[in-house]
Structure 1
Amino acid sequence: MPKTIKNVIKFICFFGIGLLLIWLVTKDLTPQQWDEINTAFRKANYWLVIPAIVIGILSHWFRAIRWKLLMKPLGHQPSTLNTFFAVMVGYLANLALPRLGEVTRCGLLAQYEKIPADKLVGTMIAERAVDMVCLLLLMAITILTQIDVLGAYVNHDIFQPLSRKIANANAIQLLLLIAGLAAFILLALWLLRRFARSKAAQTIKALAKGVMEGILSIGKMEKKGWFILHTILIWSCYLAQVYIGFYCLQETSHLGISAALAVLMIGSIGMIVTPGGIGAYQALVQKALELYGITYVIGYAFGWIIWVVQTLLVIFVGFFSLIALPIYNKKQQLK
């Protein structure tokens, strides 16, 4: 099956999941609740969208600089603008298909900065690993500092269902899973040895080497403090966007940093589940705000406002970056 058709099928499936989640959340809303949602949208203070957008762009700029720091130990120093444009086009691609953006941004930067794509993939994997650690730390901090609010929710909605699934899995199923993983690893090693001199094997080895160099670039960085600082700045911007968003609606304007942390934590999971978080983000944010006494209707409306702001930012800046990339690089070549 051609790759394009596979990508289209994947997009339809993930987008369908998002639409299904929206339907599941809204199917039982009464006409009165729909009126309340429309009223919330009409009364929202959309002037606060401007600082939220500025902060959002800053978060992506900090991400571009942080990505550059990972490339320096590999002997490459791309233009900050090229790196930023590649990051934004990557986010735009992610709206179409999850994880497509990572490949896209690496490919674009490799094209315009003449950096080996395999090494860029390694730095991207390292960057994503750092973000995953940050998300786990955010979860731990949020839950531990708000154990009275989030403890029961996490236990009832996450730990208990997970425990039941593990308990229901018998010993034979677990052994089969372990045996399957072991067989896959052994088969892969055998194939690499058997066809070690083939072109495909050489390509795989070169890719693996480049990826490993990219991942290890974190340990080789001279400015680790700058890397940590930009990581903190990125997540601080995410948090500030949510906190400013609270003031868009009168019903959420009293919420503080604690609630913003919870929304950021749970909403980040929603952004991973479906393309751009459509459906999942709104539902999870509504669930998070419900813990702080926000009604179902207002929580859902708030989720849509934040999601629309973030998505429009990615669409407009992403398309601008896509157009600006060749123009900027053509001017650079003429200098």
Structure 2
Amino acid sequence: MPKSLKTIINFTIFLAIGLGLIWLVTHNLTAQEKEDIISSFRKANYWLIIPVIFVGIASHWYRAVRWKLLMEPLGYHPSTMNTFFAVMVGYLANLAIPRLGEVTRCGIVARYEKIPAEKLVGTMIAERAVDMLVLMLLMLVTVALQLDTVGIFFTRNIWEPLQNKAGGSRTWVLAGILVLLVVLGFIAFRLIARSKFGDKIKGIFRGVWEGVLSIGKMQKKGWFIFLSLFIWVLYFTMMYLGFLCMEETRSLGVGAALSVLCFGSIGMIVTQGGIGAYQILVQQTLLLYGIHATTGYAFGWIVWLAQTLMVIVIGFASMIALPIYNKSNQAKSTE
């Protein structure tokens, strides 16, 4: 299958899922419920979204700083501006095509900082793994601190359904399929490893693995851990400040902000840029705290739009600034 066709199919599928979720929520709404959603949009104080946007930009800046720390053990010291531009262009690319952003930002840094792309992929994988770990820990803390609300919801709607699906003879069938795939994969690997193509693949994997191992080699481990946590503190701050834009959500506390952050983050992963899934998960989470479904749905859209517009504006600005910034730096270095 041509790569361009595969890209189009991936884009269509993820976008269709998001649009389908929007349709599922909105097609059965009554006239009154639609009016309530529109009213929530009208009454929101959008000036209070401005601090949310600035905090969001700060979170992306510190993400770029943290990414630099992963490159330093490999012997590379890129400029923070280039890594920040790359991060923002990467987020912009992800809005168009799932997972394209990771490739894009590695390509940008490889081009302007002369760093092997396969090593950058390794650092990016390490970065994603750390983020997933922090999110999982945050979810555990959120559930543990709110067993009377989030804990029961998590158990009934996530944990128990997963247990039921994994039960019975189906588990043995899945285990058998997994063993078969492992055996076939091992045979295929041995055949490919002996070819020239296999040598190229092994070279790429060595670069990726070297990038992943950069976490253990870095000298500033404490700074890396602090930034990894601080980025999520900024995400939490965005959500908490976002509550202020609507009268119905202003009284919500830390627990609600943690819950919306955790479950909303899952929505950002599931569909194209989080469209559809993010709004539903935010709505369902806010129901636990007594927020009406229409208000919660409108709030999810407001926060999602603020984040998406920020990525679009800063992402395009970064695309324009990248060649200008690097041309200026080259001019200075030749003087």
How high is the TM-score relative to the length of structure 1? 0.97
User: Please, what is the CA RMSD of the aligned residues?
Assistant: 1.1
Q: Does the alignment pair 1:292 with 2:289?
A: yes
Q: In 2, Cα distance between the equivalents of 1:303 and 1:226? A: 33
Residue 5 of structure 1: how far off its partner (Å): 1.8
Q: In 1, Cα distance between the equivalents of 2:6 and 2:267? A: 24
Q: Does the alignment pair 1:21 with 2:21?
A: yes
Q: Does the alignment pair 1:207 with 2:204?
A: yes
1:190-217 CA-partner distances (Å, limit 9, x unpaired): 123432xx1x112111111011110000
Q: What are the residue-to-residue correspondences of 1:137-176 with 2, within 5 Å?
A: 137-170=137-170, 172-176=172-176
Q: Does the alignment pair 1:243 with 2:261?
A: no
Q: What are the residue-to-residue correspondences of 1:56-205 with 2, within 5 Å?
A: 56-170=56-170, 172-195=172-195, 198=196, 200-205=197-202
**Corresponding residue number in structure 2 for 1:332:** 329
Give structure 2 stretches of 5+ with no counterpart.
Answer: none
Amino acid at match of 1:80: T
Q: In 2, Cα distance between the equivalents of 1:112 and 1:245? A: 36
Q: In 2, Cα distance between the equivalents of 1:306 and 1:184? A: 46
How high is the TM-score relative to the length of structure 2? 0.97
Residue 185 of structure 1: how far off its partner (Å): 3.0
Residue 32 of structure 1: how far off its partner (Å): 0.5
Q: Does the alignment pair 1:273 with 2:260?
A: no
Partner-residue secondary structure (3-state), 2:248: helix
Indicate the percent of aligned positions where both proteins have the same amino acid. Answer: 59
1:119-178 CA-partner distances (Å, limit 9, x unpaired): 000000000000000010011000000011111111111011111110145354134222
Partner-residue secondary structure (3-state), 2:304: helix
CA spacing shift, 1:78–1:172, aligned 2, 3 Å: same
Q: In 2, Cα distance between the equivalents of 1:253 and 1:145? A: 21
Amino acid at match of 1:74: L
Partner-residue secondary structure (3-state), 1:252: coil
Residue 103 of structure 1: how far off its partner (Å): 0.6
Q: In 2, Cα distance between the equivalents of 1:171 and 1:84? A: 45
Q: Is the 8 A contact 2:193 2:199 kept in 1?
A: no
Match among 302, 306, 312 for residue 303 of structure 2:
306
Give structure 1 stretches of 5+ with no counterpart.
Answer: none
Q: In 2, Cα distance between the equivalents of 1:258 and 1:122? A: 35
Match among 198, 204, 213 for residue 216 of structure 1:
213
**Corresponding residue number in structure 1 for 2:44:** 44
